[in-house]
Chains A and B, each alone.
Chain A
């Protein structure tokens, strides 16, 4: 009922202002029921369930071949590392321009409404990452961005005026913010980046009105904390497990789901024997307090840089005749996992790409490690998948229409070489630990959009790509899957069969989430490429 009221209010407001933006007001209830207003795109991945799914279907299998560019926006200065996924609400699109500029665009024309650029230090520290921003969050009449120097800033959604600006962490020590905040009821939840600088990860929640910090959950323990025994040295030094992407949220369970990154040093595990909690894990936190309810560690004692920072996809399905609340997670370590999101119980896990590091998963989902797959000095060890993993941070998609989980999979290995550096006190001078990889030579690597049966991970179809692609995926009720390639293609596939239906060469790879919105009765598909923010529609 509430959904209908909001939809009606929105429709009335839009009717009075058919050709311009309406006043911005996106209360929690609208985000909570984002599915009921598919014309908007209110979170990083479209909804709290992070499904990267749009129920719009004006653009469909029959007409997608007519898709063409409706408008393009380019920042006044060229940007690097454009991975910005937009928020669309009430006629306005909120994008970020790396490193930390927020811009509001008219969704009909792509024209700029306002733009805000924070004052960054002359020297922003970016170690093992690049100073980018994957997007903003919106709540009520305020837009929130985490900046390259680790500030969280609240902006008036109508004007871009700063409401408040809080210092989240010390950039001099290597902390940075690249992921979009997650806006839930009365909280703005953020993660942090910097594992390669050997910072200690955390997840924070802030008061949306004042910027006051409400809670912090440290993602690695200190001496005496739960999990300290998994660091060998008693966690006197524990670093990594950064939280540099977006999280998901189950409002009924009041749980936030957030992935964590690799331990530090990355390719040198000499000083951190043990599982190294809570690195390379999925955490379920109580949204009110930040208390850890459960965790699932995909890669205990990790040393291949296989972060687990992809957004967790929440979906509901029936398994063995019982309705279940589930999470689908295509991990960088090469396995696709299905996890019960109530208690964190492992249900199933299967490789979705070639992997050589594990003999399999045990009944609890813990990997049974294969011998001789650790990084070594000298020429290194050939391991599948590569450092880029089966998939990195780029969002997969889940379609309730097909029940498929779509992922842009990487089929490639690499020679992993051990580092020798150690964590030292004080500001980091570079990537801590050293080591790394050598790529395979030859035409051995490729990518693929793979459709997995979401409840089992069974491969239903694949569409092969020339090379492993760092491009997120969108599925729609029009029976379509949108994604791209590193060579600059953007394309639509039949969601049931994987058959290619439309493609365009954009000149540079897409790095942002493809999204969909509707205005004036017209559906748009939106993505970025190079310096460009591009909206597509039917003629």
Chain B
């Protein structure tokens, strides 16, 4: 299933929930089988070489997309087995089956290398993860975010965020949400478009809606507001459509947490690496 299709199904679920006035269930957690791969530096180097001679023409040298989609962090979202299967057997939409071209070992190495492509802005953990979990819970983070199946579905799932993001990035995002948005996975072939983009629309009849872009094409845009409600618009029915990178529906923790609490929260987030 393609990312855009998954997004559309998620949006449809959201729509039907909104229409029915019911409480939406939390999104299903992604597979948690990223722990299995422990590759040596040599094996990772070999995976890198395979990536750069087989994958990078379409997916970009950093996996961020080129002629093919952004695949940064994809093992964390789909699971190692699913990604291995896609590499081996291909998928509709352009991904060739590489099972005949690459050995099982090469595929394992290249998927292992994919795990290393996405880590952003390392830095050091200075806080305490156990205390950070309490900060997470007391600050209401779980209202919008899911960790290991528990929590809300308005913000991104955080179950493996410690694999994807380093402490510095986590700290920046907690303090200044929206300033360093990741590249979108929900747009096939586009490369470079942003995930969690803040959007403000004004309809021709003067109503204003703000929220996170869930999906967009040349004629439509779907946003999710801060309450988790989805709103769908035809662009020719809008007076304006403004995209505001740097803004977010997530409240900043700046001024709400002291330094120690912040360090602890970052330590907790950095410890979230899926099933261990």
New A-B pairs, 15, CB < 8 Å, besides A80-B91, A414-B60: A80-B94, A80-B96, A386-B66, A412-B191, A430-B50, A432-B53, A440-B191, A443-B197, A464-B218, A467-B193, A485-B218, A486-B189, A488-B217, A505-B219, A509-B188
Q: Nearest chain-A residue to B102 (Cβ)?
A: A430
Show the binding face of B for A, using Cβ within 8 Å: 2, 4-5, 8, 50, 52-54, 56-57, 60-62, 64-67, 70, 90-97, 100-101, 183, 187-194, 197, 216-220, 236, 243, 245
User: A442-B194, A466-B218 are contacts. A430–B101 as well, Cβ < 8 Å?
Assistant: yes
Q: Is the CB of B245 within 8 A of A443?
A: yes
User: A80-B90, A441-B183, A443-B243 are contacts. A436–B57 as well, Cβ < 8 Å?
Assistant: yes
30 A-B pairs in the complex with CB atoms less than 8 angstroms apart: A80-B91, A80-B93, A80-B94, A80-B96, A80-B97, A122-B100, A130-B95, A196-B57, A380-B61, A386-B66, A386-B191, A387-B66, A387-B67, A430-B54, A431-B53, A436-B60, A437-B66, A438-B66, A439-B183, A441-B192, A443-B192, A444-B192, A445-B193, A465-B218, A466-B216, A466-B218, A468-B189, A486-B188, A489-B217, A491-B218
Which listed residue (B4, B54, B188, B192) contacts A439, Cβ 8 A?
B192
A497-539 vs B, CB cutoff 8 Å, 1 = contact: the mask equals 0001001010111000000000000000000001100000000
User: A80-B90, A505-B217, A505-B219 are contacts. A438–B57 as well, Cβ < 8 Å?
Assistant: no
Which listed residue (A419, A445, A487) contacts B4, Cβ 8 A?
A487
Which listed residue (A81, A123, A380, A436) contacts B101, Cβ 8 A?
A123
Which listed residue (B92, B100, B216) contacts A80, Cβ 8 A?
B92
Which listed residue (A126, A434, A445, A489) contacts B96, Cβ 8 A?
A126
Query: Nearest chain B CB to A199's CB is how many angstroms away?
Result: 16
Interface size on A, residues (CB 8 A): 63
Interface residues of A in 408-432 (CB under 8 A from B): 412, 414, 417, 419, 421, 429-432
Q: Nearest chain-A residue to B182 (Cβ)?
A: A441
Complex: A387 Cα to B220 Cα, angstroms:
27
Q: Is the CB of A445 within 8 A of B52?
A: no
Q: Is the CB of A486 within 8 A of B66?
A: no
Q: Nearest chain-B residue to A266 (Cβ)?
A: B57
A124 lies within 8 A of chain B by Cβ? yes
Q: Nearest chain-A residue to B53 (Cβ)?
A: A430
Query: Which residues does chain A contribute within 8 Å of B197, judged by CB atoms?
Result: 443
Complex: A196 Cα to B188 Cα, angstroms:
23
Q: Nearest chain-A residue to B216 (Cβ)?
A: A466
Q: Which of B2, B8, B70, B192 has the most A CB atoms < 10 Å from its CB?
A: B192
Query: Which residues does chain A contribute within 8 Å of B95, judged by CB atoms?
Result: 80, 130
Complex: A389 Cα to B93 Cα, angstroms:
20
Q: Is the CB of A388 within 8 A of B66?
A: yes
Which listed residue (A196, A432, A442, A488) contacts B192, Cβ 8 A?
A442
Complex: A417 Cα to B101 Cα, angstroms:
24
Complex: A126 Cα to B90 Cα, angstroms:
12
Q: Is the CB of B189 within 8 A of A509?
A: yes
Query: Which residues does chain A contribute within 8 Å of B236, judged by CB atoms?
Result: 500
A125 lies within 8 A of chain B by Cβ? yes
Complex: A470 Cα to B191 Cα, angstroms:
13
A251 lies within 8 A of chain B by Cβ? no
Q: Is the CB of A503 within 8 A of B219?
A: yes
A442-476 vs B, CB cutoff 8 Å, 1 = contact: the mask equals 11110000000000000000001111101000000
Query: Nearest chain B CB to A394's CB is how many angstroms away?
Result: 12
A477 lies within 8 A of chain B by Cβ? no
Complex: A421 Cα to B4 Cα, angstroms:
35
Q: Nearest chain-A residue to B220 (Cβ)?
A: A505
Query: Which residues does chain A contribute within 8 Å of B2, judged by CB atoms?
Result: 508
Q: Is the CB of B194 within 8 A of A443?
A: yes
